């Protein structure tokens, strides 16, 4: 089976070879969809594939290593009242779910393309993007 | 005509005809304008207080003025340094019609005996609520990118590592001062669209710097001019006054400004005919932590608007921080106000001084500063 997770790292956890351990010790296939890590911690979006049991163990291992784990099922929503159509999110959205429409000058949000990676959340100045949990 | 319509008109009919036929061109911009704020007169309590320290919803306002006046800056953070809530958000809440908590303390005097007050105010209860922004509406601005290995959080937004993206902040061909590059019609006393209401230009904006490099047509390629503006906060709309948060940088106010430009002559018509392919900005690497960053290269606004530019052989996605959608809204809103006779054009009472320069701040001795 396959599942997508968002990982949040503290600065300490950012220094452990987490993906390596997931692959070697837990026999999972790991596809990195997005990674943003620096000295003050970071965030990573992974697609894990393997046996359901191994995935569960892998996630337990991550939690034990002090990594915040959030499965992606929920999705991301835009509050159209708040969006000013500035366009900040357009260049950071990895899937082009947020895109600029030159005709209207508006920024469109295509929910089907969104992988809920969450990268746009803290980049949006009026905080129009929110994660539904 | 809006600036966009005018450019089309010039393309098909030429500058000469346009100068003859068209009276006014309306421009617009909506972006984060940090040097913004509002001042208030709260009225006197009984017994009265000479407010020495003032907080509005936990955000401190400057009260070193007479008894019940205070100025709330957009980038002031609340006491917990919470970047989700600063002066800009309090201003937005007031414009939305909300009541905010006013707290003030004082040392007490014979004429103002009260030492503290804790109450609520709104735009209905205060005497004056005036938006007074000392630097808005930059003529042009930098393009920001990041060559380092980590994500940068800046006032130019989130900059992804290794030239992961580039951000810019101008409405380009729709932007007021790019249509009047030498400030012929925009000066002190010009009536403008400000935050949904009518306001005025009161002075040159701080850091006004007209001497930057320009194209042969005179269009500045760097920040250049800016405006100090004033207007009645009570008349403004939350559509055009918004509290913003730039993660790990702080808060800022999203302000909508529109300026009508009278087509005085052919030269003015030519200036207003400028299009995005003739407007350029410098790309700067924001991982260089110095005040004089080097220019990586210059790009046109049509390249920036295409969604991707090339930096050092890499295709880099671009983001605007300035809302084109709202800029268009403002320009057409202003156009219809003028057509209905609700907006009177004002000739500047005085033009800006073109000899202003932008000086740095160095650590110097008293003697060197003299
Ligand atoms: S960054 Fe936020 S406000 Fe700007 S276009 Fe994207 S969703 Fe809208
Ligand atoms: S969460 Fe935001 S950045 Fe990520 S894919 Fe969805 S819209 Fe794009």
pLDDT of B87 over the 90 cut: yes
The answer to which of B39-43, B172-176, B226-230, B289-293 has the lowest mean pLDDT is B289-293
Output the domain CATH number for residue A20.
Answer: 3.30.70.260
Q: Which of B323, B330, B331 to mutate to test the interface with A (most CBs of A within 10 A)?
A: B323
CB of B326 within 8 A of CB of B240?
A: yes
Residue B317 has pLDDT above 80, yes or no: yes
| Centroid of ligand 1 to alpha carbon of A46 (angstroms) | 25
| Active-site choice (B111, B137, B169, B272) | B111
With an 8 Å Cβ cutoff, is B322 touching chain A?
yes
Instruction: Specify the pLDDT at position B354.
Output: 84
pLDDT at position B219 is 87
Same domain, A37 and A93: no
Q: Are A101 and A108 in contact (CB under 8 A)?
A: yes
Distance separating alpha carbons of residues A68 and A52, to the nearest angstrom: 20
pLDDT averaged over every residue in chain A:
84
Q: Looking at residue A73, what is its pLDDT?
A: 59
Matching residue, tokens 């790991």: A30
Minimum mean pLDDT range among A20-29, B72-81, B264-273: A20-29
Q: Residue A26 and residue A57: Cα distance in Å, rounded?
A: 7
Nearest to B118 by CA among B62, B174, B167, B58: B58
Q: Are residues A7 and A67 in the same domain?
A: yes
What residue in B sits closest to A84 (Cα-Cα)? B323
**Which residue did the predictor score with more confidence, B328 or A32?**
B328
Cβ atoms of residues B225 and B210 within 8 Å: yes
Q: State how far Cα B365 lies from the chain centre.
A: 34
| Three-state DSSP class for residue B88 | helix
Structure tokens at B242: 């918004």
Average pLDDT in the B204-221 region?
A: 88
Q: Which residues of B129-155 are buried (b: 16+ CB within 10 A; e: fewer)?
A: bbbbbbbbbbbbbbbbbbbbebbbbbb
Calculate mean pLDDT across residues B223-246: 95
**Confidence at residue B26, expressed as pLDDT on a 0 to 100 scale:** 97
The verdict on whether B137 is a catalytic residue reads no
Average pLDDT over residues B98-121: 96
In tens, the pLDDT along B142-163 reads 899 999 999 999 999 999 999 9
Statement to judge: residues A68 and A126 lie in one domain: no
Q: At a CB cut-off of 8 Å and minimum separation 6, what does B112 contact?
A: B47, B48, B49, B50, B67, B106
The secondary structure of B151-186 as a DSSP string is: -EEETTEEE-TTTT-EEE---GGGSGGGSSTT-SS-
pLDDT tens by residue, B41-61: 999 999 999 999 999 999 999
Contacts of B165 in chain A (CB under 8 A): 91-92
- Closest residue by Cα to atom 6, ligand 1, is A89
A117 lines ligand 2 (CB under 6 A): yes
Q: What domain range includes position A126?
A: 76-131
Q: How many domains does chain A have?
A: 2
CATH of the domain at A92: 3.30.70.20
Q: What is the pLDDT of residue B147?
A: 94
Among A73, A94, A118, where does a domain finish? Answer: A73
Does A83 lie in the same domain as A65?
no
Q: Domain coordinates of chain B in residue numbers? A: 3-34+132-339, 43-126
Same domain for A22 and A43, yes or no, is yes
One domain for residues A66 and A81: no
User: Are A111 and A93 members of one domain?
Assistant: yes
- The confidence score (pLDDT) of residue B221 equals 87
Q: How many CB atoms lie within 10 A of CB A70?
A: 16
What is the overall mean pLDDT for chain B? 94
pLDDT digits (tens, 9 = 90+) for A52-65: 788 888 888 888 88
pLDDT digits (tens, 9 = 90+) for A85-109: 999 999 999 999 999 998 899 999 9
> How far is Cα B85 from Cα A11, in angstroms, rounded to an integer?
26
Neighbouring C-alpha atoms within 13 Å toward the C-beta of B170:
32
Residues A9 and A67 in one domain: yes
Q: What is the DSSP letter of B352?
A: P
Both A43 and A92 in one domain: the answer is: no
pTM above 0.95, yes or no: no
Confirm or reject: Cβ of A129 under 6 Å from ligand 1. Answer: yes
Q: Which residue of A has its CA nearest to B318?
A: A91
* A106 and A51 in a common domain: no
Output the pLDDT for position B194. Answer: 97
A80 and A69 in one domain? Answer: no
Residues A27 and A63 grouped into a single domain: yes
């Amino acid at each position: 089976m396959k599942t997508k997770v968002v990982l949040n790292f503290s600065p300490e956890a950012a220094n452990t070879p987490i993906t390596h351990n997931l692959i070697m010790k837990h026999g999972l296939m790991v596809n990195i969809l997005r990674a943003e890590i620096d000295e003050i911690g970071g965030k990573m979006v992974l697609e894990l594939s393997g046996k359901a049991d191994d995935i569960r163990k892998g996630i337990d291992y991550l939690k034990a290593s002090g990594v915040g784990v959030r499965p992606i099922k929920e999705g991301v929503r835009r509050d159209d009242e708040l969006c000013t159509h500035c366009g900040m999110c357009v260049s950071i959205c990895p899937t082009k779910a947020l895109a600029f429409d030159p005709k209207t000058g508006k920024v469109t949000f295509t929910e089907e393309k969104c992988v809920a990676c969450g990268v746009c959340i803290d980049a949006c100045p009026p905080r129009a993007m929110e994660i539904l949990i | 005509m809006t600036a966009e319509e005018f450019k089309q008109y010039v393309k098909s009919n030429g500058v000469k005809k346009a100068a003859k036929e068209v009276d006014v061109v309306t421009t617009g911009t909506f972006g984060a304008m940090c040097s913004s704020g509002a001042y208030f007169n709260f009225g006197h309590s009984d017994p009265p207080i000479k407010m020495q320290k003032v907080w509005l919803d936990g955000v401190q306002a400057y009260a070193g003025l007479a008894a019940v006046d205070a100025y709330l800056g957009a980038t002031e953070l609340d006491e917990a340094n919470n970047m989700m809530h600063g002066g800009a958000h309090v201003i937005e809440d007031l414009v939305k019609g909300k009541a905010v908590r006013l707290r003030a303390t004082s040392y007490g005097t014979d004429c103002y005996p009260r030492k503290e007050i804790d109450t609520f105010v709104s735009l209905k209860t205060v005497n004056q609520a005036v938006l007074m922004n000392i630097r808005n509406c930059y003529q042009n601005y930098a393009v920001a990118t990041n060559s380092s290995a980590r994500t940068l959080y800046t006032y130019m937004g989130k900059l992804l590592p290794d030239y992961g993206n580039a951000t810019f902040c101008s409405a380009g061909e729709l932007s007021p001062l790019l249509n009047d590059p030498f400030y012929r019609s925009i000066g002190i006393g010009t009536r403008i669209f400000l935050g949904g209401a009518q306001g005025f230009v009161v002075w040159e904006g701080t850091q006004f710097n007209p001497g930057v490099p320009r194209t042969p047509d005179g269009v500045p390629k760097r920040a250049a001019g800016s405006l100090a503006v004033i207007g009645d906060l009570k008349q403004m709309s939350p559509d055009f006054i918004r509290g913003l948060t730039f993660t790990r940088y702080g808060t800022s106010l999203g302000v909508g400004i529109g300026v009508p430009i009278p087509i005085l002559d052919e030269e003015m018509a030519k200036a207003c005919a400028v299009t995005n392919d003739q407007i350029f900005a410098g790309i700067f690497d924001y991982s260089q932590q110095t005040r004089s960053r080097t220019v990586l290269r210059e790009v046109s606004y049509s390249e920036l608007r295409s969604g991707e530019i090339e930096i050092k052989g890499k295709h880099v996605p671009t983001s605007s921080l300035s809302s084109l959608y709202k800029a268009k809204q403002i320009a057409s809103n202003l156009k219809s106000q003028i057509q209905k006779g609700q907006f009177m054009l004002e000739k500047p009472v005085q033009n800006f001084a073109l000899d202003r320069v932008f000086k740095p701040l160095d650590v110097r001795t008293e003697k060197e500063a003299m």
